[in-house]
Structure formats: structure tokens, C-alpha cells
């Protein structure tokens, strides 16, 4: 498994998660978990995805998500899971 | 499984609080490059550096992308050149050629600094050491990426006052040789007491002779993260303050550990240490002075500052030590004046003086760092300032350093702009009273009594 954590921050409106999910489907990226909170009109969303079957380079996916983010007015970032595990787990 | 709040805490640190990995520094042993012919020596050095570190920049950038954390600098540190060049160099010009070779190698592999144009003379100078030291002004003026350092003292050996005197002159000459650019040559030159063999930070990085052939050392940073954490415990007592810094330092250092391990694996070079130092930059929100001020001191330099720095330094170590399998380098808080916007401002309004900075160096990881002083400051006064700092390091068994810049043509109160990460700063006034007779004595200051532990 090649776990990547995707974070999304931006003003909430319909279709944000749909756009991100479509992008993952197109690239053979499996969603393992989704969590989100909405504070006032802003959405904070996190997805844990598996990129095992994805054939693209990680840098392409990072750029691709950035473009999806621009399309829906949000900032989307992808980072390998280890950085979160290292920081928050002993 | 990580939680949403944890993920966003990490993201906020990186996005809004300037958390980054300040440097991945590859240490490279050059002792096997030694040759009695300067041409062959330079060829060997160029070959070894460019081959050993050919993938350093690429791998550093890949790691940054994979983990979404900026890896700001990729650098190289080499064996002190006074040792490497000893059998080949007959003149200072021969040493300057090595500096030029280091510059070409650094350019080729794309690193922004290469450290190790250094001499270790804490007990005495060899002929080669003297030639290298005297070549420093030309070497640093003729190159952009080469950094030099000279170790003048240690707790075990005392202080080499002949070398301290010489360095006063060399720093003045380096300032003169780079006067067109704010005497910036001095920003690439540091003198040490008790230097660290595995320090990844410039200008003082070199690859110690006790190190393995190649090694990866990583320096983390994150003053903004610490400041933000402290701002959340405003008014709480010192126990809460200290715990907050400690926990934050742990998280910051874990990122360094991750990056160091990854870099080590991907480059197939042993992992050396993580340096826990909090290193500021001139960017807004990336300041050590802001942390001190967030603790409750009006401006850095005001009464309470030394205690605040001591707290910060100690808690950063306590949090960081558990986060990494090997901790080393300088590991503490840096207090470079020009590289820290709020530090420079405190100097500008008169809150921060050189004397207070000296007190702060007793409890932080380095010393007088990036301190611009008037261009007409005498070589003896600079040597006196160095001697004071060396004494603090020697007696307290800690690293101290001096990176002082007598800015040609500038007077106290004027401003010097170095640009980029080196920042800008007002010229700080120095004492108008001299120490010429003290410096002129020459010889060595003996090692202190508590160094005799055998």
C-alpha cells in the first residue's frame, strides 16, 4: 500500500469532493478514508488514499490536484503519510 | 490512523508557520584526495565532491515533494581544507585555487553553499593553517558559495590567542575585499570555540576528521511554529510554557528525523545526526526574537531576555532529543541579528546591544552571529570580541562562535542590506575603549581547570 494524505481547504460549495473523487477515479487512486469539518462557510477535508495502482509519478498527481483545486477554488495538497505519523505518533 | 486535527496541525505548521527543513548537508571526507601536486589535488577534490553529491539536490527536492515539506537548502561540508591541502599548498595562492575548485564543484552539483574552507588551530597553527587563514579574504571574495571557519579555542586546549589576533586582521581584510557588497565575505566566515564536527549549518559546517567517508546531517527549523504554540498559552506559568515548547520541538524534530532517514536511504549515505537548532530567516513570522517577545519580554534585549533564551534552548533540546535517534551539530537556538527581522529591529531601536547578545550566547547554541559593526572597528577590537566569546565557550564547555561583519564605509546606526536569507540590519555600535595591549601579548590561554577530567 502506498498511503498518501490529501488535504483540502477552501470555501465550501457543491461539487468540491465530487471533483476530487473523479480525479482519483481517473487515476486509479483508491480512497481509504474521508473526514471533513465545515467551519462557517469554510471546508477542511482530509482523505487518506492508496496510490499503489496509480501509474503516474507522484509529482504529476501533486500538480494535478493543484489544478483540480484551482478549478473548485480550494487549496489541495498531497503528502505521503509518514510525515503525519512521525509527527503525531511515538 | 492519523486524525483530522493532527493532519491540519501539520499542514498549518508548513503552510502558515514556515516549518521547513532548513538544510540537508552531506559531509564528504577529502583526506583521500591528498596529493603533493596542487593540480592533482584540485582534480581529486572536484571529482570526489561532484561524484559523492551528484544526486543531493535532486533527492532533496524529491523528498520535499513527497512529504510536502520545503527542503530549503542542499549543501556540502568537506574535511577542513588546511589538512587536505597541507602537503600540496606552498603558498596562500595554492589554497585559493582549492577554494575556486570547491566553488566549481558546488556549482556543478547545484548546492548553494560548500563549507569546510577551514582550519582547526585551537592549540596552535601549522604552516598550512597559517597559509589557509591568510588566504581567506581572497578565497571568500573570489567565490560565492565557499564558506570558511576557523576553530580558535576549545575547553580541552584553551584559546590560541595568536590565531585570535590573526583572525581580527583576516576579518578586516575579508570585509575590505568584499566592500562593494556590504562586506558580505564576512558573512561566509565564522570562528569557533568547541566546534561541532557534524554541524550541518553554514557558515560553520565542515566534515570532522572523526567522521565516516560520507554522511547526511539534517538541520530542521521552525521558529514560527514555536511562536504560534506559545501564543496559545499566553499568561500561563513557566511549567506550561516549557511543556509547550518541548512538545512543539518534538514534532518539528520528527520531521527532521524523517527527512534525514529518507535522504540517507535514497542517497545510500549513512545518516549522521539531526541538528535541533531553531534557525530564523528574515521572513515575517520566522523569528527567534518573536518567540522571546511572545514569552513576555517587550523587545529582545530587554531584561529577561537571557532567561527566555535559556528556557527556549533547553526545552528545544529536551523535546528534540527524544524525537531523533541521533542528535548533534549545534542544536539550540540561533540568534543571528541580520537574519532575524525582529532581532534587527530590536537593534535598531536600541533594545539589543552587542553586550546583551554576548550574554545571550552563554545560554544558546552558538554566539555572536551576523552582527554588523562599524567599518572602522579596529582589528584588535574584533579580536577582543572574539576572545570574549571564545572564553565563554571554553569555560562553559559549549560551542560559541563569532560571525561579525565590519561593514566598510558604514557607521553605527546606518543600515546594511545583505539580501536573501542573510537579511539586513542596522550597524551595531561597539565599545569605543580598546584592548590592543591585551591582544598583542600573543601565545595561548591555558585550558581551564575543569577540563582535566582524566
- Give the DSSP per-residue string, B295-334: HT-SSTTSTTHHHHHHHHHHHHHHHHHHH-SSEESS-SB-
Q: Which residue of B has its CA nearest to A44?
A: B8
The pLDDT score that the predictor gives to residue B331 is 92
| A66 and chain B in contact, CB less than 8 A | no
The pLDDT score that the predictor gives to residue B420 is 87
Number of domains in chain A: 1
- Assign domain B218-441 to its CATH architecture: Alpha-Beta Barrel (3.20)
Which secondary-structure segment (H or E) carries B431? none
Which secondary-structure segment (H or E) carries A55? none
Write the DSSP symbol of residue B447: P
| B12 and chain A in contact, CB less than 8 A | no
| B68 and chain A in contact, CB less than 8 A | yes
- What span, in angstroms and rounded, lies between the C-alpha atoms of B121 and A59? 47
CA distance B268 to chain A (A): 20
The pLDDT score that the predictor gives to residue B202 is 95
Q: Which residue of A has its CA nearest to B6?
A: A88
| A85 and chain B in contact, CB less than 8 A | yes
The pLDDT score that the predictor gives to residue B430 is 97
Burial class of residue A85 (count of CB atoms within 10 Å of its CB; 0-12, 13-18, 19+):
middle
CA distance B310 to chain A (A): 25
pLDDT at residue B131 greater than cutoff 90: yes
The CATH number for A26's domain is 3.30.70.260
Going by pLDDT thresholds of 50, 70 and 90, the confidence category of residue B1 is: confident
Q: What is the mean pLDDT of residues B327-342?
A: 94
Mean pLDDT for all residues in chain B: 96
Binned average pLDDT, 10 residues per bin, chain A of 90 residues = 94 94 96 92 94 94 95 95 92
Q: Domain residues for A29?
A: 3-88
- What span, in angstroms and rounded, lies between the C-alpha atoms of A36 and B41? 60
Q: What is the mean pLDDT of residues B182-187?
A: 96
Domain B25-193 has CATH 3.40.50.720: no
Q: Which residues on chain A are in Cβ contact (under 8 Å) with B256?
A: none
Q: Which residues on chain B are in Cβ contact (under 8 Å) with A81?
A: 2
Whether B159 and B390 have beta carbons less than 8 Å apart is answered as yes
Strand partners, B114: B76, B146
- Reference B118, options B51, B49, B181, B191; nearest CA is B191
pTM of the model: 0.94
pLDDT at residue B18 greater than cutoff 90: no
Integer angstrom CA distances of residue A32 from A2, A10, A87, B392 = 11, 22, 21, 56
Estimate the crossing angle of helix B4-16 against helix B223-231, to 10 degrees. 120
The pLDDT score that the predictor gives to residue B169 is 98
- What span, in angstroms and rounded, lies between the C-alpha atoms of B286 and B291? 9
The pLDDT score that the predictor gives to residue B2 is 83
SS (H, E, C) A11-53: ECCCCHHHHHHHHHHHCCCEEEEEEEEEECCEEEEEEEEECCC
CA distance B279 to chain A (A): 19
pLDDT at residue B87 greater than cutoff 90: yes
pLDDT at residue B14 greater than cutoff 80: yes
| A36 and chain B in contact, CB less than 8 A | yes
Going by pLDDT thresholds of 50, 70 and 90, the confidence category of residue B365 is: confident
- Locate the domains of chain B by residue range: 25-193, 218-441
- What span, in angstroms and rounded, lies between the C-alpha atoms of A65 and A6? 9
For strands A42-50 and B368-374, give the pairing.
unpaired
| B246 and chain A in contact, CB less than 8 A | no
CB pairs under 8 A between A and B: 63
CA distance A66 to chain B (A): 13
Task: Report ipTM for this prediction.
Answer: 0.90
Amino acid at each position: 500500500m502506498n498511503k498518501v494524505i490529501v488535504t483540502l481547504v477552501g470555501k465550501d460549495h457543491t461539487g468540491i469532493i465530487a471533483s476530487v473523487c473523479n480525479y482519483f477515479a481517473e487515476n486509479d487512486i483508491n480512497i481509504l478514508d474521508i473526514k471533513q469539518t465545515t467551519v462557517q462557510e469554510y471546508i477542511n477535508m482530509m482523505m487518506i488514499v492508496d496510490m499503489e495502482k496509480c501509474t503516474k509519478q507522484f509529482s504529476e498527481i501533486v500538480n494535478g490536484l493543484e489544478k483540480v483545486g484551482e478549478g473548485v477554488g480550494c487549496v489541495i495538497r498531497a503528502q505521503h503519510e509518514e510525515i503525519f505519523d512521525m509527527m503525531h505518533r511515538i | 490512523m492519523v486524525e483530522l486535527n493532527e493532519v491540519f496541525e501539520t499542514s498549518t505548521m508548513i503552510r502558515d508557520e514556515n516549518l521547513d527543513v532548513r538544510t540537508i548537508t552531506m559531509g564528504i571526507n577529502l583526506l583521500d584526495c591528498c596529493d603533493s601536486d596542487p593540480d592533482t589535488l584540485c582534480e581529486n577534490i572536484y571529482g570526489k565532491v561532484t561524484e559523492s553529491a551528484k544526486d543531493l539536490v535532486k533527492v532533496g527536492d524529491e523528498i520535499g515533494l513527497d512529504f510536502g515539506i520545503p527542503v530549503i537548502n542542499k549543501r556540502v561540508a568537506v574535511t577542513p581544507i588546511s589538512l587536505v591541502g597541507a602537503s600540496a599548498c606552498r603558498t596562500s595562492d595554492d589554497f585559493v585555487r582549492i577554494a575556486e575548485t570547491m566553488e566549481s564543484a558546488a556549482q556543478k552539483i547545484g548546492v548553494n553553499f560548500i563549507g569546510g574552507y577551514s582550519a582547526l588551530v585551537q592549540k596552535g597553527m601549522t604552516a598550512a593553517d597559517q597559509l589557509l587563514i591568510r588566504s581567506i579574504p581572497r578565497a571568500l571574495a573570489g567565490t560565492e558559495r565557499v564558506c570558511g571557519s576557523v576553530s580558535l579555542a576549545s575547553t580541552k586546549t584553551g584559546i590560541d590567542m595568536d590565531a585570535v589576533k590573526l583572525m581580527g586582521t583576516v576579518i578586516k581584510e575579508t570585509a575590505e575585499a568584499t566592500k562593494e557588497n556590504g562586506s558580505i565575505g564576512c558573512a561566509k566566515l565564522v570562528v569557533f570555540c568547541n566546534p561541532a564536527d557534524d554541524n550541518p549549518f553554514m557558515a560553520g559546517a565542515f566534515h570532522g576528521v572523526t567522521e565516516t567517508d560520507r554522511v547526511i546531517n539534517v538541520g530542521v527549523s521552525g521558529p514560527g511554529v514555536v511562536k504560534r504554540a506559545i501564543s496559545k498559552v499566553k499568561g500561563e506559568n513557566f511549567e506550561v510554557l516549557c511543556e509547550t515548547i518541548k512538545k512543539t520541538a518534538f514534532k518539528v524534530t520528527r520531521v527532521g528525523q524523517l527527512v534525514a532517514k529518507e535522504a540517507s536511504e535514497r542517497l545510500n549515505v549513512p545518516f549522521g545526526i539531526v541538528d535541533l537548532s531553531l534557525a530564523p530567516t528574515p521572513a515575517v513570522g520566522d523569528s527567534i526574537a518573536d518567540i522571546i517577545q511572545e514569552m513576555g519580554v517587550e523587545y529582545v534585549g530587554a531584561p529577561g531576555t537571557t532567561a527566555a533564551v535559556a528556557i527556549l534552548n533547553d526545552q528545544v533540546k529536551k523535546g528534540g532529543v527524544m524525537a531523533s535517534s541521533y542528535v548533534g551539530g549545534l542544536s539550540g537556538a540561533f540568534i543571528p541579528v541580520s537574519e532575524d527581522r525582529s532581532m534587527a529591529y530590536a537593534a535598531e531601536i536600541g533594545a539589543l546591544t552587542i553586550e546583551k547578545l554576548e550574554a545571550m550566547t552563554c545560554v544558546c547554541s552558538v554566539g555572536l552571529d551576523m552582527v554588523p559593526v562599524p567599518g572602522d572597528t579596529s582589528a584588535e577590537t574584533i579580536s577582543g570580541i572574539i576572545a570574549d566569546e571564545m572564553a565563554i565557550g571554553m569555560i562553559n564547555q559549549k560551542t560559541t562562535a563569532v560571525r561579525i561583519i565590519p561593514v566598510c564605509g558604514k557607521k553605527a546606526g546606518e543600515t546594511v542590506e545583505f539580501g536573501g536569507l542573510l537579511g539586513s540590519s542596522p550597524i551595531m555600535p561597539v565599545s569605543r575603549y580598546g584592548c590592543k595591549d591585551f591582544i598583542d601579548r600573543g601565545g595561548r590561554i591555558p585550558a581551564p581547570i575543569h577540563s582535566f577530567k582524566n
